[in-house]
Structure 1
Amino acid sequence: MPHPISDLVAPRILISRMSAIGDAILTLPVACCLREHFPDAYIAWVVESKAAPMVRGHQALDAVIEFQRGWFTSPRGVKEARAKLQEHRFEIAIDCQGNTKSALAGKLSGASRRIGFSGKHGGELSRFFNNERITPVFHHITDRSLELLTSFGIHHPRVSWDLPLDDEDRDWAKGYRNTIRTPSVAILNPGGTWPSKLWESDRFASTARYLADRYGYHSLVVWGSFEERLMAEEIVELSQGTATLAPNTTLQTLAALIETADLFVSGDTGPLHMSVAVGTPTIGLYGATRPGDSGPYEQAALQLQYEAGSRRHRRQASNRAMRAIGVEHVCAVIDDMHHVPVARAA
């Protein structure tokens, strides 16, 4: 029988969470919790390059191992991954994603104990690569990932994020915020990775006007891609001077900018979870995903309809379910946030 993990003083641990920016952020409490309970442990995170900026430099991590997307689809990629992982001599791998590539990374690492999910969250081939499986009770990604730490004897963990931001990015963000001459700033994020996650531009603009007229906010509209910039420009044009187009940002400067804001409104996408991680009051708008699974953790979420079906269908669907959310619904939540505690949804 192997020794209980809780008896180990300095275990060598690999966290495997590969791809989406938002999901990587939602998993950061795992790293924080492990560092709190095992201060002398060697803790690393294996991630694909897209989400790497959200974990690179995190104070709980000793190493971040980056792979390119598709690394596991060729014999050469698998061989190179094995060599890179085994340099670290991992004893324990934690598969927080529950699919083939995340579990395969744990297997390739050489870790003798590979912890993952059983049931529907242990998807694809992960159940064959992981040799200790936990059946989660909670639905939210953050809580579900933390449940994997019950194998370490950790129960009721404290949830913290410690998003890695450096002083230079924070100084830039504070300087930019100081150019906006209103006491309160809202950041509106109209972008999303799926068309079915997008709220209408005119509704964001109406929200900006309401925030200005009722509470004296000025809104800043952030963007990433060219298409998102076009949406952001339309919101600014329709806002009647109550919103401004944000400058171009990196993921790190975006997070730092969100940290300076007093409110963040967005669909289900990476910046929404950045906002939660930096402690900004957040309103999430949901249609093709469920806030119970990936909502803004312990913050406000709105969903009036759900685009049911497979992930592929939901990814390709229209934003019909998002259009069920009216401006009046968002403004009601804003009113609640300014007068009474919000009923949390996560």
Structure 2
Amino acid sequence: MTTPARGPRSFLVGAAGRVLGAVFPRRAVPEPSSVRRLVVIKPAAHGDILFASAALAQLRRGFPKAEITLAVGKWFTELAAGVPHVDRVLDAGSFGTPGRYGWKDVWGFSRQLKREGFDLAVVLDRSPKVAVAPWLASIPHRAGIDSGGRGFALTVRVPWDRPVHEVDLMLDVVRALGVPVEEPRLEFVPSADHLRYAGRLMQEWDLTSDAPVVIVHPGGASNPGMTMPSKRWPATRFAALADRLVTEHDAKVVVVGHGADAPVARQMRLAMKHPSIDLVGQTTIGQLAALLKRVQLYVGNDSLPLHLAVSVGTPVVGIFGPTSPAINGPYRAAGAALVDEQACSQTRAFKPGPLEACPDCTCIEGVTVDQAAAAAMQQLTTATAKRSR
């Protein structure tokens, strides 16, 4: 289901938050040397947790004496294990995953936090229920995003009052804590086992020749708590794009995704004129990251593998519709983010709150195969030139 549009309930939550914000006290930013235990709370979802990796690197530098814990929902601990600059991952269970938790989970998570004795909580989430948990845990310093009054329980509040990339919004929280931001980027570190697995896979499928390897992910846009099919470019267009890359660049095409992506991946592969390699449902997140690190290009929708490719330094072509590249796109990445200028993500006015896609959204179909092919071929030409040096 698509994230619900902003309605009366959202308005009332914001209004109540603004009233409570006048009651809850703010506090001065703590001295970095006084912070021994710091928790970053970003329960969901995959792409957002990768976005948080940029802030985590800055917090590590700004609070050098602190033990840094990353708290994520139970569905996202595998991903969090590969995010660097973290001493420990805390499994928050269902807490913070949209549609999967209630006030009982908020109380339970607050008890977890209280037992840990944190000095500072950094909340990189907009939900008032997420922001209230560290207050219930009596964590003295609580910094985070204040979306229309929803951050009332925070002692340092960073307003979300303008369209800005999600990564930069998180970095604004870091800045509010007095930490200068230097050369931010997304990061994910595959383990040695993941890298060995990717190497064996490249050998097994004969992907170590001079022919460029392109990973394509035609599915995605599905997380615990949210599914948005309107973020998926048609499978037949991915097929046409892949065929052109094979014909014009002699590329080897590898199709990836989790098990739920199998139907759309099959549709893409059946529509192709050239053979491709099917790895759908056959890699973990870490293994996929290691494989992405070895290839010349990634092409896909706005979903985890796109941002995973960015985090390991692989050029990307991302295709967007109801979400905006300026807010959710590949962050400081080599490559391109394509969106039709008439897409709802480009024409709607900014306002804090849940994403509002247009009814029965097909905006992503405004991106043509020719546009995607031109962007992909430009990246492959650049990659080929670098390899020949």
TM-score tier by shorter-chain length is 0.7 to 0.9
Q: Are 1:245 and 2:278 an aligned pair?
A: yes
Q: 2:40 aligns with which of 15, 19, 41?
A: 15
Q: Distance in 1 between matches of 2:377 and 2:75?
A: 36
Match of residue 334 from structure 1: 376
Contact 1:187 1:258 in 2 (8 A): yes
Following superposition, the deviation at residue 196 of structure 1 comes to: 0.4
Give the residue type in structure 1 aligned to 2:218: P
Contact 1:16 1:105 in 2 (8 A): no
Q: Distance in 1 between matches of 2:220 and 2:200?
A: 27
Q: Are 1:292 and 2:292 an aligned pair?
A: no
Q: Are 1:154 and 2:179 an aligned pair?
A: yes
Q: Distance in 1 between matches of 2:59 and 2:95?
A: 29
Match of residue 302 from structure 1: 338
Match of residue 97 from structure 1: 125
Describe how 1:7-156 pairs up with structure 2 within 5 A. Answer: 7-8=32-33, 10-56=35-81, 58-69=83-94, 72-75=101-104, 77-118=105-146, 122-123=147-148, 126-135=150-159, 139-156=164-181
Q: Are 1:275 and 2:309 an aligned pair?
A: yes
Contact 2:166 2:328 in 1 (8 A): yes
Contact 2:37 2:66 in 1 (8 A): yes
Q: Distance in 2 between matches of 1:156 and 1:236?
A: 43
Q: Summarize deviations over 1:47-92 as a string: whole Å, max 9, x none.
A: 11122222125441122211222575143x3343222111221111
Following superposition, the deviation at residue 327 of structure 1 comes to: 0.5
Following superposition, the deviation at residue 103 of structure 1 comes to: 0.8
Give the residue type in structure 2 aligned to 1:187: I
Partner SS, residue 157 of structure 2 = strand
Structure 2 gaps, min length 5: 1-25, 222-227, 384-389
Q: Distance in 2 between matches of 1:21 and 1:60?
A: 17
Give the residue type in structure 2 aligned to 1:126: R
Q: 2:218 aligns with which of 190, 206, 209?
A: 190
Partner SS, residue 97 of structure 1 = coil
Contact 2:50 2:187 in 1 (8 A): no
Following superposition, the deviation at residue 312 of structure 1 comes to: 6.7
Give the aligned length: 334
Following superposition, the deviation at residue 281 of structure 1 comes to: 0.4
Match of residue 290 from structure 2: 256
Match of residue 360 from structure 2: 317
Contact 2:215 2:292 in 1 (8 A): yes
Match of residue 344 from structure 1: none
Q: Distance in 2 between matches of 1:107 and 1:66?
A: 19
In structure 2, do the counterparts of structure 1 residues 63 and 108 end up closer, same or farther at CA, with 3 Å as the change threshold?
farther
Q: Which segment is superposed worse, 22-31 or 231-240? A: 231-240
**TM-score, normalisation: structure 2:** 0.78
Following superposition, the deviation at residue 164 of structure 1 comes to: 3.7
Q: Distance in 2 between matches of 1:6 and 1:263?
A: 43
Identity of matched residues, %: 24
Following superposition, the deviation at residue 340 of structure 1 comes to: 6.8
In structure 2, do the counterparts of structure 1 residues 312 and 37 end up closer, same or farther at CA, with 3 Å as the change threshold?
closer
Q: Summarize deviations over 1:26-55 as a string: whole Å, max 9, x none.
A: 111111111123222111111111222221
**RMSD after superposition:** 2.5
Q: Distance in 2 between matches of 1:301 and 1:47?
A: 28
Q: Distance in 2 between matches of 1:311 and 1:83?
A: 28
Q: Distance in 2 between matches of 1:250 and 1:261?
A: 17
Q: Distance in 2 between matches of 1:259 and 1:49?
A: 26
Q: Which segment is superposed worse, 155-164 or 276-285? A: 155-164
Q: Distance in 2 between matches of 1:223 and 1:315?
A: 26
Following superposition, the deviation at residue 315 of structure 1 comes to: 8.6
Q: Are 1:171 and 2:196 an aligned pair?
A: yes
Q: Which segment is superposed worse, 34-43 or 5-14? A: 5-14
Q: Which segment is superposed worse, 132-141 or 275-284? A: 132-141
Structure 1 gaps, min length 5: 342-346
Following superposition, the deviation at residue 100 of structure 1 comes to: 2.0
Q: Distance in 2 between matches of 1:336 and 1:166?
A: 31
Give the residue type in structure 1 aligned to 2:206: I
Q: Distance in 1 between matches of 2:199 and 2:130?
A: 37
Following superposition, the deviation at residue 225 of structure 1 comes to: 3.0
Partner SS, residue 357 of structure 2 = helix
Contact 1:212 1:242 in 2 (8 A): no
Give the residue type in structure 1 aligned to 2:343: Y
